Amino acid sequence: MRITMIGTGYVGLVSGVCFADFGHDVICVDKSASKIEALERGEIPIYEPGLDALLARNVAANRLGFTMNTAEAVKGADAVFIAVGTPTRRGDGHADLSYVYAAAEELAELIDEDTVVVVKSTVPVGTNAAVRDRIAAKLKEIGRDIRFHVASNPEFLREGAAIEDFMRPDRVVVGVETDHARDVMAEVYRPLKLRDSPVMFTTLASAEMIKYAANAFLATKITFINEVADLCEKVNADVQEVARGVGLDGRIGPKFLHAGPGYGGSCFPKDTLALARIGQDYASPMRIVETVIDVNDRRKRSMVDKVLDLCDGNVSGKTITVLGVTFKPNTDDMRESPSLTIVPALVGAGAKVRVVDPEGRKEGEALLPGVEWVEDAYEAAEGATALVLLTEWNEFRALDLERMATAMETPRMADLRNVYSPDALQAAGFSAVLVGRDPVSAPAARLIKSA
């Protein structure tokens, strides 16, 4: 198949590279000359494990190319994917569809007979129908009489595991209106049939709704266990034991039951907000989702209080070391990360904040002014009043706790991802606060350390 990918952001680039690895001929289009030039040199603008090698392999096999020339890329394409951004619109919380509609109207002048225009961007219900209508109106305006088709193909890629998710998905969702669109999309995803990955065909509206409903449910699951964690702290229960006991129920499952500082990233915050707005527009309010949004926002702010309490209510003039600022490990994405709430609050309270993150500095330097960036966790701990473990990168999962404690002015840790057990922290001499678990008391920790 000949595939064109409009947009080389996270979704477009990962999808384009993976489609090429399926054996299709793929051209990725972007209006940024610097981005296209970098991609042609094999330079990846995002951090996604394994993507650079996969890109190089498919470029070498002449299955993958990059261009700014949309007309050239679209000519002869069986399917043209729109994978442009749909950020939250300022003021009302709706998804900004201007990039999607602009791409659709441009394609009306370029597509061939029976081209399938596939919307891969995350879009509200009704957007694919609107894309169809806009293309039809543009064709009429410019006097072109051709048949075309529209399909909805939402992505379900986890940052940090996107290649695995694309190659071995739980499911592929495709919304179609015509048999031709269904046949083309079945051929596009035919390689997955060899791996028994289900390809699910639905209506356009159902495909759009599946994406939002799935992300809202996962965000709800995270928020639920975070509220349970707060209650566990009050009643002396352990949220990790509770989560395990709940997750062993086959109807619930263990995934997304890890208490922490709240969800972030490019999908959950934007998609929950968009779904809530859709519900309001159709007079069918999504009250659970609205509550999830509110609780998650408050969750991030409450983590600041945990750190302040750990430091006796005052961080002014004290050195706080933050381990991890991306919204999750194995990505450089800072969008809606809890760190964007927590770190500025600590700086605003007068703390001297040191930050360690394997991939976060590229975006973080502009987003987190006033912090010191350090490459090594042990160096960052020197003379610190407290550590805040905010993102559970692998290199932060097996720290030499005694070495860290010895380097610090006072061995205190706010483990906001529950990476370390209370016993391990106490044995190393730390006083600590965790999430949904009993704190490690300072007197006992200090006695053990001095002994």
- 267 is known as an active-site residue: yes
User: Domain 2-202 carries which CATH code?
Assistant: 3.40.50.720
Helix or strand run (H / E) with residue 178: none
Instruction: Return the amino acid letter for 81.
Output: F
Which pLDDT does position 197 carry in this prediction? 87
pLDDT value for 13: 97
pLDDT in tens, 266-297: 889 999 999 999 999 999 999 999 999 999 99
Mention every residue, 6+ apart, whose C-beta is less than 8 A from residue 144. 108, 109
- As beta bridge partners, residue 429 has none
**Domain locations in the chain?**
2-202, 298-450
Task: For residue 290, count other CB atoms closer than 10 A to its CB.
Answer: 17
Active-site hit among 18, 28, 232, 267: 267
Annotated binding-site ranges for NAD(+): 30, 35, 86, 122, 159, 270, 335
Q: Shortest CA distance to 109 belongs to which of 71, 69, 66, 150?
A: 71
How much is the pTM? 0.91
Q: What is the pLDDT of residue 449?
A: 43
Counting as low any pLDDT under 50, the low residues of the chain are 443-451
Instruction: Specify binding-site residues for substrate.
Output: 156-159, 211, 256-260, 264, 328
Phi and psi for 247 in degrees, rounded to 5? -70, -20
Side-by-side strand order, sheet with 172-175? 64-67, 25-29, 2-6, 79-82, 115-119, 148-152, 172-175, 199-202
How far apart, in Å, are the Cα atoms of 78 and each of 2, 115, 137? 5, 5, 22
Q: pLDDT value at position 445?
A: 40
Burial per residue of 204-233, b for 16 or more beta-carbon CB atoms within 10 angstroms, e otherwise: beebbbbbbebbbebbbbbbbbbebbeebb
Pairing assessment for the beta strands 199-202 and 372-373 based on DSSP bridges:
unpaired
* Exposure on the CB side of residue 83, measured as CA atoms within 13 A: 25
pLDDT attached to residue 442: 59
Residues 44 and 62: their CA atoms lie apart, in Å, by 18
pLDDT at position 444 is: 46
CB 95 within 8 A of CB 122: yes
Superfamily of domain 298-450: NAD(P)-binding Rossmann-like Domain (3.40.50.720)
The two domains 2-202 and 298-450 share their CATH topology (first three levels equal) = yes
